[in-house]
Amino acid sequence: MKRACVYCGSSSGNDPSFTEVAITLGQSLVRHKLDLVYGGGRVGIMNVIAESVLNSGGDVIGVIPQSLMDREVGHDGLTELHVTSNMHERKSTMANLSDAFIALPGGLGTLEELFEVLTWSQLGFHRKPIGLLNTAGFYDSLLTFLEETVKAGFIKPEHHALLTVAKEPEELIEAIKTARPTEVDKLGHTHQTSPADT
């Protein structure tokens, strides 16, 4: 595992622990020799994690669509910045560059990115680990809802288990390093493909 993709808020949120966990996760990624792949912005928690990795001596690869660059929210101090023509290309580029995915607290963009990589995994398009940092119980109600969807028969228990949850960055990185995503896809087929197939 060489690169971890982090999805997180383009806002800072109103609890200081959201910013604190982004700083700690950045330091942990560098300690584990993992480069950061993220959305390339210099706003909110996104900026905090990018700065944390850079300040700790790590490499940061940003992937941002031209439309957001034009609105001057791109970070100009990264190791690499990929500018894509649209959001879809941006998300597939981030996924293809990464060996694992981690979601921090965030809003609609973060949730969309998290659920997209989970959906690709349950369809067997990739077998990369996916982690959720449940800082200060931020995701408790979402996790309860996901359990409801399993009980209601919409998500298989083995696909629910594709999401590794932890409260602290070190614990999450250790857990995703040993995670073994199911090989059985939603249609019951066993196969291995990569996000390039999406």
Q: Which one, 39 or 181, has the nearer CB to ligand AMP?
A: 39
Distance in Å, CB of 49 to ligand AMP, minimum: 10
Shorter beta-carbon distance to ligand AMP: residue 106 or 129: 106
Q: Which is nearer to ligand AMP, 10 or 124 (CB)?
A: 10
Checking DSSP bridges between strand 3-7 and strand 35-38, what pairing results, if any? Answer: parallel
Chain centroid to CA 52: how far?
Answer: 16
Measured CA to CA, the distance from residue 191 to residue 198 in angstroms comes to 14
Where on the chain is the footprint of ligand AMP (CB under 6 A)? 7-11, 39-41, 43, 46, 64, 68, 73, 106-110, 113
- Neighbouring C-beta atoms of residue 148, cutoff 10 Å: 11
CB of 81 to ligand AMP, least distance (A): 11
CB of 168 to ligand AMP, least distance (A): 21
- In angstroms, the CA 159 to CA 180 distance is 12
